[in-house]
Amino acid sequence: MDSSFISRLPQALVVIASLINVITAQTSNEALWPLQTYKSSSIQTPYMNVTKMGQTEPGHLFFTPHDILRETGHPTIYSDDGQLVWQGASGNYSGLQPQMLNGEPVIAYWSGYAGEGFGFGHISILNSSYDEIHRVTLSCQEQNFVTVYNPMTFDSCIDIHESQITENGTILVTAVNVTRADLSSIGGEKDGWIQDGLIYEIDIATNEIMFRWSAHNHIDQVPLADVRAPLEGSGGSGVNSTYPYGYPHLNAIYKYGDDYLVSSRYMCSVFFIAQNGTVIWHLHGRTGGDFTLGLGTSFCYQHDVRFESQSPERVTLTMHNNDNTEFTGHTSLTTGLVLNVELQGSKEVTLVGRTWDAAEPVYAESQGSYQSLGNGHVLQDHGATPKIEEYDENGTIVMRARFGYDNTMQTYRTYRYPWVGRPSTKPDVVACPTKGGKTAVYVSWNGATDVGSWKVTSGSKINHTALRNGFETTILVAGLSDGDSVAAEAVGGVGDGTRSQSVTVGQGC
Ligand SMILES: *[C@@H]1O[C@H](CO)[C@@H](O)[C@H](O)[C@H]1NC(C)=O
Ligand SMILES: *[C@@H]1O[C@H](CO)[C@@H](O)[C@H](O)[C@H]1NC(C)=O
Ligand SMILES: *[C@@H]1O[C@H](CO)[C@@H](O)[C@H](O)[C@H]1NC(C)=O
Ligand SMILES: *[C@@H]1O[C@H](CO)[C@@H](O)[C@H](O)[C@H]1NC(C)=O
Ligand SMILES: *[C@@H]1O[C@H](CO)[C@@H](O)[C@H](O)[C@H]1NC(C)=O
Ligand SMILES: *[C@@H]1O[C@H](CO)[C@@H](O)[C@H](O)[C@H]1NC(C)=O
Ligand SMILES: *[C@@H]1O[C@H](CO)[C@@H](O)[C@H](O)[C@H]1NC(C)=O
Ligand SMILES: *[C@@H]1O[C@H](CO)[C@@H](O)[C@H](O)[C@H]1NC(C)=O
Ligand SMILES: *[C@@H]1O[C@H](CO)[C@@H](O)[C@H](O)[C@H]1NC(C)=O
């Protein structure tokens, strides 16, 4: 994540009169993206504009919209039609992803202090009731972390960029430590400073550190000369500990067997690292590194690198290829990239596939993700360009979803997964008289995914069932008056029969 987002003026605000419950706000001369609001809940969330051109894969959208102008962010789940499903508490978040932990579906995300392209925080792991069942931390004090902030006041020094759970109940995270390095080979100070990139594998149940790797400790195999960020403009020139040089800016980690796949944004590089810390191979997106780049395989400043397949002979890599940063400007087309890498013999890199939205191309400056879905589909997110795309197996775009104007709203990554939410709260209800003499009963249940319909009752007076319609369902009923008591009950799904508190008609409207 990079910090210089508000570099361009937001586009003109388009307000569609027919959008119900969408509010727009205006501060001075800056246009704010509309928020969706509700009667039965105080939740406000970015309006999502979904356009579908084909069949999408099943599942909800998991992301962390951060409103840069309003300075607020949330972990959120949306359904495929752009309706909110769940919103957590406000703060700084990244990397929200449903995963399996010891056979149980959980969601994991980072939260904490988000600073100059990196952060200091912890990983929350929630069960399907949205209760925090684990909090993974990395003690700044015990690990002797040095940060750009002096004095440093953080408890946990986990960085924003990764929160990948392994099959063995551990989690992979990144961290940034300010340390000294000789920058003279790249024209900097001999006694310079860098933002060393660290990988930690931490046992979730015990918080025990299972693996630690530092790029700086392996600087002979992770060379400074391969960094593409200039000494100025990468967060720092390295002259002092307040302005450390942006080496190596790690942003994606995955474990395959005993080895670690590591993406370095500012080195335009992918490293495969053995358990003993040795670099097994290095793919550089501009020079090739250990490999020879074939036609159309160049990449840089990439995000979310994963293996799609792996064998001793070759790997297939997927990534979100930004090819832009705050110091390059945003002139290169951003694409999803699938590369075949021959590990033996020819050592050639060949292009397997590339996905982009030709009608609405993106030149993403920071962040982003690439997820391989079922049936050959791909979900792409563009970070500081708040746009999510889905492509089919032929690379044809089937969904476009916007949740903000460029550089006013962002999410580090977005994932699509099936999910069954079992909120431990009760449904929320408010009942308001309408001009027509009826009562509008508004019902929502933050986090519920599979309610079929809502049954509204008022003693023996009313017994009315209506199909659930999005985050909040509005049910018009006759025969109620001010002071009557109303409740709603979920019908269908895992929360079948769960009743709200009784509310009084006319209160809280
Ligand atoms: C939603 O997207 C459609 C299609 O791109 C566009 O015509 C419309 O103006 C958008 N609405 C808003 C509120 O941005
Ligand atoms: C979020 O990060 C900002 C710095 O960008 C910090 O000022 C703020 O305190 C953080 N919020 C939380 C809840 O940690
Ligand atoms: C989630 O965790 C809470 C607190 O431990 C527990 O009460 C609840 O039953 C759990 N929900 C599920 C679905 O496991
Ligand atoms: C961070 O760097 C300092 C030196 O600047 C060193 O003493 C400390 O051990 C390092 N911590 C980590 C977590 O690498
Ligand atoms: C660090 O270097 C920057 C850039 O030269 C300078 O503005 C700043 O005052 C220095 N800070 C300290 C603590 O020396
Ligand atoms: C999980 O543990 C097994 C047994 O020790 C090991 O073979 C496997 O490589 C581990 N997987 C990961 C991702 O750590
Ligand atoms: C580290 O592991 C790699 C791969 O298993 C091996 O080739 C190498 O010899 C090991 N290096 C050391 C110093 O043990
Ligand atoms: C993808 O292309 C193949 C071959 O042209 C075609 O048979 C198939 O229907 C296409 N899939 C979609 C979803 O259009
Ligand atoms: C509401 O009607 C259904 C059948 O339509 C019935 O099963 C249920 O008992 C009624 N509930 C109340 C509170 O009257």
Q: How far apart are CA 275 and CA 477, in angstroms?
A: 64
pLDDT tens per residue, range 433-466: 999 999 999 999 999 999 999 999 998 888 899 9
Give residue 18's pLDDT: 28
Query: Which residue spans within 187-249 are E strands per DSSP?
Result: 192-203, 209-214
What is the SS3 assignment for 273-331?
A: ECCCCCEEEEEECCCCCCCEECCCCCCCCCEEEEEEEECCCEEEEEEEECCCECCCECC
pLDDT tens per residue, range 250-276: 999 999 999 999 999 999 999 999 999
Is pLDDT larger for residue 440 or for residue 236?
A: 440
Reply yes or no on whether the pLDDT at 125 is more than 50: yes
Is pLDDT larger for residue 110 or for residue 8?
A: 110
Give residue 27's pLDDT: 45
Q: How far apart are CA 221 and CA 212, in angstroms?
A: 17
**Protein residue with least CA distance to atom 9, ligand 1:** 14
Give residue 30's pLDDT: 61
**Protein residue with least CA distance to atom 8, ligand 4:** 144
Ligand 5 centre to CA of 8 (Å) is 28
Reply yes or no on whether the pLDDT at 35 is more than 60: yes
| Residue 470 three-state SS | coil
Does residue 16 line the site of ligand 1, with CB under 6 A?
Answer: yes
Which of 224, 220, 208, 216 is closest to 143 using CA atoms? 208
Average pLDDT over residues 17-25: 36
- Summary mean pLDDT of the chain: 92
Reply yes or no on whether the pLDDT at 9 is more than 50: no
Counting from 1 in the atom list of ligand 5, the atom nearest the Cα of 150 is 13
List Cβ neighbours of 433 (8 Å cut-off, separation of 6 or more): 439, 440, 481, 482, 505, 506, 509
Q: 24-28, 205-209, 481-485: which has the minimum mean pLDDT?
A: 24-28
Positive or negative torsion for Cα 348, 217, 212, 225: negative
Q: Identify which ligand lies nearest to the alpha carbon of 158.
A: 4
Instruction: Tell me the percentage of the chain whose pLDDT exceeds 90.
Output: 88
Give residue 105's pLDDT: 98
In the chain, what are the domains?
A: 428-504 (2.60.40)
Give residue 10's pLDDT: 27
Reply yes or no on whether the pLDDT at 4 is more than 80: no
Could you tell me the pLDDT band of residue 1, with boundaries at 50, 70 and 90? very low
Give residue 234's pLDDT: 61
Give residue 151's pLDDT: 73
Query: DSSP label at 245?
Result: B
Average pLDDT over residues 336-360: 98
Reply yes or no on whether the pLDDT at 28 is more than 50: no
Counting from 1 in the atom list of ligand 7, the atom nearest the Cα of 275 is 2
Does residue 51 line the site of ligand 1, with CB under 6 A?
Answer: yes
Average pLDDT over residues 294-309: 98
Give residue 150's pLDDT: 74
Query: DSSP label at 374?
Result: G
Could you tell me the pLDDT band of residue 13, with boundaries at 50, 70 and 90? very low
**Protein residue with least CA distance to atom 8, ligand 8:** 394
**Protein residue with least CA distance to atom 1, ligand 2:** 113
Ligand 5 centre to CA of 240 (Å) is 6
Q: Number of helices (H) and strands (E), helices first, in the chain?
A: 0, 41
**Protein residue with least CA distance to atom 11, ligand 9:** 463
Ligand 9 centre to CA of 463 (Å) is 6
Which amino acid is it at 193? W
Residues with CB under 6 A from ligand 4: 143-146, 177, 179-180, 198, 214
Could you tell me the pLDDT band of residue 232, with boundaries at 50, 70 and 90? confident
**Protein residue with least CA distance to atom 3, ligand 8:** 394
Give residue 235's pLDDT: 63
pLDDT tens per residue, range 302-329: 999 999 999 999 999 999 999 999 889 8
